[in-house]
Amino acid sequence: DGHHVHSLRSDFTTEVPHCIRQMDDERTMVAGENNEQAIVAGNARTSDQIAIRIRQRKIRRGITGRHLEGRKNLGHKGRLSQIPKQANCFSAFDRDAIRCIFRGVPASLSPAERLRYSRHLLIPDVGEAGQLRLKNASVLLVGTGALGSPAALYLAAAGVGRLGLVDDDTVDASNLQRQIIHGESWIGKPKLDSAAARLREVNPHVQVECHALRFTPENAIGIADNYDLIVDGSDNFTTRFLTNDTAWFLRKPLVHGAIHRFEGQAAVFAPHLGGPCYRCLLPGMPPAGSVPSCQEAGVLGVLPGIIGSIQAMEALKILLGIGTIPLGKLMCYDGLASAFRTLKLNRDPECALCGDRPSIHGVLNAETATTTECSHSTNAMPAITTTELRDLLAGDFHGLLIDVREPNEHAAASIPGSRLIPFKTLPEALDTLPRDKDIFIHCKSGGRSGRAVQFLLDQGYTQVKNVAGGIDAWLETERWL
């Protein structure tokens, strides 16, 4: 049923207090439980440093006493794929606690690593302890496209020790406008090969693991179980539901991202830490034709760089245990308005996955098994470009051009000579459509018209084509005439 969670090793909680007592060069002693007066030796001299050490002492007591004691689901081989439930906001992590959490981690960085990560080591909330934590961490990136590209590059540069990449696609020339991890010389070659080569060039200290397959309900648990958290860089709802469900059953944080033209969003879903899951935001698959794909609607190339970088930032915060995890928040970015806003997301008690009475008990379910996307694929159906359509309409055209948008959309902008038949009324208009003439169908960007074309093909029509890009593409070409 998808419940693949490893047990915490029995000697983990008993070893933490012993390690906590082994203080490093800078020793902190708290005199009195009530007033928290600190005597700080070593390099810490200022009041700010004293405050930091006091906070660290509090964090250590929290980690050893309240948070880790008795908790059994810390993920793969004892790594911190689960943050303590009460710790929604973090201060600097103590290096001794980290050495206990990550067994086998080197006591220090190599000279080459010290030079590479020198700007990290200067940050009090990161330092050597944080960098060692990153070195022992692992992240699974589902997709190496528009969002996966910047996220993977920054996670590798930051020193995350092990990156898993899932993708079965090849590099296309149309990818290069936004998928910055790939280059011209990789066109026609597997994206995983391109991404792995680039990441190893960015940071040879990072281990890159390639999963050259599609992320499916059959393999999702087995792949994701070996990583501390998941970054979703997919471009379709089926995979988004699958990454969400996989993260839920494995009790791992999921860093979500999505983009559309000039807008994007990002969130962290981790119901086991508090807050909602992706299904609390979107309970089920959107209706077909309701959301255009990137291929249909387009996207400004720089936008995924912004959202993907936010995903990398949130992943690093979780791995380092610093800052605030934005649980129950959806960060939205409007590129045209140069504005960010944050929407509050509440856990849905009726959620089929994380609700009080869940009805989903495994990663194989209606949403993750579907092959029908809300944006109908137009790759395998007859199509005509707006340039070709314009040439036909300028000549002796005896066919039929149908607009399947809504009346208000048609009134705002339309292609001359088009006949308005809203998509939902198309079955009622079948008797009025000729079978011996060319029929071209358009909508806003190609999604609804693609479904309309498929519907007519299923009804036995043979001379029907989809207008690729819809009226958006028509108006775009009109600008250049």
Q: Which amino acid is at 435?
A: R
Sign of CA dihedral 132, 133, 137, 139: negative
Cα 66 to Cα 48: distance, rounded to the nearest angstrom: 26
SS3 384: strand
CA distances for 289 relative to 157, 445, 471, angstroms: 39, 10, 15
Q: Determine contact, residues 45/68, Cβ cutoff 8 Å.
A: no
Judge residue 443's burial from the number of C-beta atoms within 10 Å of its C-beta, 0-12 exposed, 13-18 middle, 19 or more buried: buried
Would you say 278 and 256 are in contact if contact means Cβ atoms under 8 Å apart?
A: yes
Instruction: At 230, give phi and psi (nearest 5°).
Output: -120, 135
Q: Give the span between the Cα atoms of 342 and 265, in whole angstroms.
A: 9
**Sequential DSSP letters for 185-250:** GGTTSBHHHHHHHHHHHH-TTSEEEEE-S---TTTHHHHHTTSSEEEE--SSHHHHHHHHHHHHHH
Any idea what the Cα angle at residue 274 is, between residues 272 and 276, rounded to 5°?
90
- The span from the CA of 171 to the CA of 184, in Å, is 9
Residue 3 one-letter amino acid: H
3-state secondary structure of 82: coil
294: annotated active-site residue? yes
**Which pair of structure tokens corresponds to residue 398?**
């005896």
Helix/strand/coil for 327: coil
Which residue out of 277, 280, 294, 351 is catalytically annotated?
294
Report in angstroms the alpha-carbon separations of 167 from 147, 182, 190, 397, 423.
Answer: 13, 13, 8, 44, 34
Cβ-based burial of 393 (10 A; exposed 0-12, middle 13-18, buried ≥19)? middle
The distance of Cα 48 from the centroid of its chain, to the nearest Å, equals: 36
Question: Looking at this protein, which amino acid is placed at residue 242?
Answer: L
Distance CA 156, CA 140 (A): 12
Phi and psi of 29, rounded to 5°?
-125, 125
Catalytic residues: 294, 443
